[in-house]
Structure 1
């Protein structure tokens, strides 16, 4: 069968190619550039824990060694770093000691925020793409064609033909084609797919510089600094750490198209550093600058026959701490296992259609949340002016977006997925809702080794996880043939798609003998109370897109051979 054609060699396209290769699907990546990435320290990416783990798993590169995990996020609405001024009516900024009886950095609504879970990873984009390119260079199933700019696509029932122009212009034959070619996507335009939305929702001036700030390894969100000597300003500033003493600073610009001149940017840098450093500007080296405009757009369709869109070609977002690249990587993770199944086993139209339903629905919800919050968080008047304490709530909402929490930042759940199985009496509740990402617990693999659940994702197989307290202290040979294990192993073998049986000592909210069915991209299909072969089979069929078949089979759910929890346990 022909390889998958991936148009675009950015992080999303390269990640998709590696994800397909891990599932034995060949691909061709059409790169219109020379195969190298410009080193820009002012162009950085923020990765949530799960997407960082996805990239590390695919590339084999310890991304945390090349980036810097934030140890927390300090959210301050107004922060003055001044001596000999006492603010008697407000507390000190948490973590800051007063000096000489004066409050340092103490103002209204000053709060310290820390990530409830693992903090996001911040690194330069060229570091990320370099790691992905290095991994692809060792991958036999991925071919990268540089200086190949797409100019036409032809589809038929059996595949896709694409033509590229350039020094080596030629025709390419593929089974499917995915446009990962950015906001000005040629693939999207050739398929005549509309891309409506809003332009320049936010604009930021950006600078990467090497300096020493009063805090270390901690990102800062400064909501309304008191200094305004460099001209009109919306006030918000963020500072994010990078390795080697480098910081990326972002200044939210006022609405409009005012030119950010070098003199204006240097003035902002100097006054900001002085404001954070008790009035004197510390030494700094300016390494890179830029202006970043945030657009909100969503493609009308993400699939046109054998052609799909992913990443910035399908959506643009980024206001209030939301991360477009992070969502693009989730696109690749969602699409890869579905394409792989269709590539290996023939057309699975309902499964392929679910990509658009799941991913477009989730990104649309993220955009709606940001658009609804923007007037409250950015407006100078309105609700926040009249509701006591509202500014603190808005600050928390914005901080959640940056930390990957809440409606603006938390990993999404496919609650209304067409791949959800019909409800059965054996379904049980755990802390992970169906359609959400599973928690990364330690599990025992089929070879008896202890691994992380997340390490078994992305191989194309479904995962069946039995919760069996006590198994962690015994060698697998002592319990693999005891209690309910043989019946569960037989049920897993009989599933309509390859599946791996794993055993965990515990899982949040799960009782003993709970059985979890997990998709290859780490989203929970269902949790069953005990070994229910017919219900497990029905859920697996639904997860593969055979919802009608599974609903028909579900009429007698729970009554299949060997149904029930048993009483023998595992050990």
Structure 2
């Protein structure tokens, strides 16, 4: 039995939703009865009654797709469930097993008023009967049949009352005439609740549903949730940790590409206010400076930001809250199963808080290096999980030395060409404050007894001391360097590897759940954010039913090669001074993910004739779409940037025309845009970027934006007529010169092939 209370005016819609699934329930194995009954005293309250041959049949129904579809259909039609919404034949814990009594009566319309008065009197009288607990009067909509569901403490007390004609007549007298003419009585013994967890006895609420369940509330999971919520997709974020971290024990470097993503999400100013700029880096080998580079490149939209991960999580959590979603802490994934329609996950709450099962259309594992999702999927690390043999330590200290502010400093020691010492110092917010990373003193390895220490941060080993930090500085930093004010320290082991696949049916892994690598270059958190940035817009289309069949496969096709490249590069750099000194700038841009391209993706394409019609340095299919300024839109008193047009959650079609463009081709743009918008189910914005000398019809749709300064033409290498399709993640999905509407449609069908 499940109680639902419809929102005002939604009563008929609830009945329609029930009719849509009732026949499907009847076809399930073990179903004996399914009814939608209405509370006789509250016309907005309904009770769903299903009867099953055994516990197994009921369990299969409750965790299956039919129950999930009904729950999803009535959720927007009903008020939030109350604590007593769910009543079933269940074991009442330490109390003696109870029973339910169902009495069905037929009440002709002419006698309804008399029955209603009599029943109210009977209910009041029954309150004083020993062993009687409660009851409901329910009505079959559209009929004259009523059901009384009464709960008793036990069978003996019920029969003691029913076998005494005087007592039964005394309490039931006002409706005795209905019972004598046409009634049916059934007795049910309360059995074990099939959704009570066998090992712990915790009650399970099996009817929670969501579109996407995200496991893990770190930067990767929070990014996925923000992007889904921005698109109106219902998501739920669970996190095993009961409280968020409060110290800088993880990633502290924010790449330029991540800053661009945060600008889209509306949090880049918050990040800049909370962080500091990392302005450059210096490398020393055996005390000799080998190179120095400034990271303040004028062509970059953002420099490299230093921001502790706990601040990143705070900012993302606050942004997510503005979208109506809050991570649920102290909730752990226990297990899950999936079928063609969705995923059923079993969760457990901390400190004996019980458990529940959640039915979701998709599940995303963002639960870090020790991922439960990865474990349950049986994902393996390709080539095995590698571990550096050394133990490392981290510390948050003040450092007194004569070094340039804002620089990441790397000190290496080499003996006979082999690196045997390293020290990395990253500036933190605060005067002379640094995060240091170096080899842990030998005593820590001795404490492990020579056995493998677990990967990640170690809670078993004692925290390094200020003296340990000072010893590392004495060995590798410039003479006279002093450390003070140790705020926090820890020992950790570096692991590295990448899983064999990023997707298994309706379940995905992202971030450290999918790839592990050394912290060189600060790649871990930034790569995880980009995983979610790539996946979320595709999941949103799939949830809405307008995604092409292969769209979700493109997540692995695009992100896994990038993960492999980053893991390999980070491992090579972690304990060496391996740098391409001939092109430090390009290497830095690569580290900042500004050169990331999905050129091998099955989603991207082009139609360029002749093949060299576009400039060689123009953005290619799969490349990050560069920004451009100097744009003018009528009615706007200041210049625009291209990002002003491409920001948001949809695809953006940029059509270009200059003075040499054929007028007929320009005039046809309006029809092309209308067609592709329909193909994309409205998930596409379009603009015509026209050079100052281009002739454009006055009432043209799409909107016209003038490339007044010629920056778009220069950045994208276009002439005549051309188009660029920019994906929601800011990468080029398709390009053509001249305009090729047929090729554009074919490309869009790779994304929106599911559109109706």
**2:525 match:** 325
Measure how far apart 1:199 and its partner are. 1.9
How far apart are the structure 2 equivalents of 1:61 and 1:509?
Answer: 26
Measure how far apart 1:397 and its partner are. 8.5
How far apart are the structure 2 equivalents of 1:445 and 1:348?
Answer: 35
Deviations 1:353-374 (A, max 9, x none): 1111111122112233445x36
How far apart are the structure 1 equivalents of 2:214 and 2:512?
Answer: 14
Measure how far apart 1:19 and its partner are. 0.5
**1:199 match:** 387
Give the one of 282, 300, 316 matched to 1:74: 282
Give the one of 421, 436, 445 matched to 1:235: 421
How far apart are the structure 2 equivalents of 1:72 and 1:212?
Answer: 19
Measure how far apart 1:25 and its partner are. 1.0
How far apart are the structure 1 equivalents of 2:390 and 2:265?
Answer: 33
Q: Structure 1 residues 491-500 or 439-448, which shifts more?
A: 439-448
Give the one of 490, 501, 508 matched to 1:290: 490
C-alpha change, 1:394 and 1:533, in structure 2 (3 Å) is closer
Alignment partner of 2:420: what SS?
Answer: coil
How far apart are the structure 2 equivalents of 1:392 and 1:338?
Answer: 37
Q: Structure 1 residues 297-306 or 197-206, which shifts more?
A: 197-206
Q: Structure 1 residues 333-342 or 70-79, which shifts more?
A: 70-79
**2:567 match:** 367
Please, what TM-score do these two structures have when normalized by structure 2?
A: 0.58
C-alpha change, 1:334 and 1:413, in structure 2 (3 Å) is same
Q: Structure 1 residues 419-428 or 178-187, which shifts more?
A: 419-428
Alignment partner of 2:228: what SS?
Answer: helix
TM-align CA RMSD: 3.6
How far apart are the structure 2 equivalents of 1:219 and 1:420?
Answer: 38
Give the one of 298, 303, 306 matched to 1:122: 306
Give the one of 222, 239, 245 matched to 1:38: 245
The structure richer in strand per residue is 2
Alignment partner of 1:132: what SS?
Answer: helix
- Residues 357, 417 of structure 1: 8 Å contact kept: yes
Alignment partner of 1:224: what SS?
Answer: strand
How far apart are the structure 2 equivalents of 1:458 and 1:29?
Answer: 25
Alignment partner of 1:161: what SS?
Answer: strand
How far apart are the structure 2 equivalents of 1:202 and 1:527?
Answer: 49
Measure how far apart 1:288 and its partner are. 1.4
Deviations 1:140-189 (A, max 9, x none): 2x353222111121212222211111215111121111111111111122
Deviations 1:410-459 (A, max 9, x none): 54211211112365536634432321211122375988655544455574
How far apart are the structure 1 equivalents of 2:492 and 2:655?
Answer: 47
**1:151 match:** 334
Give the one of 745, 749, 753 matched to 1:537: 745
Give the one of 708, 711, 718 matched to 1:506: 711
How far apart are the structure 1 equivalents of 2:294 and 2:396?
Answer: 24
C-alpha change, 1:14 and 1:59, in structure 2 (3 Å) is farther
Measure how far apart 1:486 and its partner are. 4.7
Alignment partner of 1:234: what SS?
Answer: strand
- Residues 47, 122 of structure 1: 8 Å contact kept: yes
How far apart are the structure 2 equivalents of 1:10 and 1:206?
Answer: 20
Measure how far apart 1:137 and its partner are. 1.8
Measure how far apart 1:538 and its partner are. 2.7
**1:179 match:** 365
Q: Indicate yes or no: 2:649 matched with 1:460.
A: yes
- Residues 321, 409 of structure 1: 8 Å contact kept: no
C-alpha change, 1:451 and 1:316, in structure 2 (3 Å) is farther
Give the one of 291, 297, 304 matched to 1:111: 291
**1:433 match:** 620
Give the one of 707, 724, 733 matched to 1:516: 724
How far apart are the structure 1 equivalents of 2:686 and 2:630?
Answer: 10
- Residues 510, 528 of structure 2: 8 Å contact kept: yes
**1:222 match:** 410
How far apart are the structure 2 equivalents of 1:262 and 1:32?
Answer: 24
Alignment partner of 1:442: what SS?
Answer: coil
How far apart are the structure 1 equivalents of 2:570 and 2:472?
Answer: 30
Deviations 1:282-339 (A, max 9, x none): 4632111122322112111211111111111111122542511111111101101110
Give the one of 212, 217, 228 matched to 1:4: 212
How far apart are the structure 1 equivalents of 2:635 and 2:374?
Answer: 47
Give the one of 534, 548, 558 matched to 1:358: 558
**2:167 match:** none
Q: Structure 1 residues 312-321 or 208-217, which shifts more?
A: 208-217
How far apart are the structure 1 equivalents of 2:403 and 2:265?
Answer: 34
Structure 2: any 5+ residue segments left out of the alignment? 1-71, 73-209, 448-460, 690-706
Deviations 1:471-522 (A, max 9, x none): xxxxxxxxxxx99655334322321213222435423251344422111111
Q: Structure 1 residues 196-205 or 145-154, which shifts more?
A: 196-205
C-alpha change, 1:378 and 1:225, in structure 2 (3 Å) is closer
C-alpha change, 1:280 and 1:520, in structure 2 (3 Å) is same
How far apart are the structure 2 equivalents of 1:404 and 1:253?
Answer: 31
Alignment partner of 1:351: what SS?
Answer: coil
Alignment partner of 1:415: what SS?
Answer: coil
Q: Indicate yes or no: 2:232 matched with 1:51.
A: no
Q: Which has the higher contact order (CA 8 A, sep 6+)?
A: 1
Alignment partner of 2:627: what SS?
Answer: coil
Give the one of 575, 578, 590 matched to 1:405: 590
How far apart are the structure 2 equivalents of 1:445 and 1:273?
Answer: 58
Alignment partner of 2:596: what SS?
Answer: coil
How far apart are the structure 1 equivalents of 2:473 and 2:670?
Answer: 62
How far apart are the structure 1 equivalents of 2:550 and 2:498?
Answer: 22
Measure how far apart 1:64 and its partner are. 1.3
Deviations 1:33-70 (A, max 9, x none): 22x31211343332211112213432535211111121
**1:315 match:** 515
**1:28 match:** 236
Measure how far apart 1:244 and its partner are. 1.8
Structure 1: any 5+ residue segments left out of the alignment? 80-106, 380-390, 471-481, 547-571
C-alpha change, 1:315 and 1:448, in structure 2 (3 Å) is farther
Q: Indicate yes or no: 2:437 matched with 1:250.
A: yes
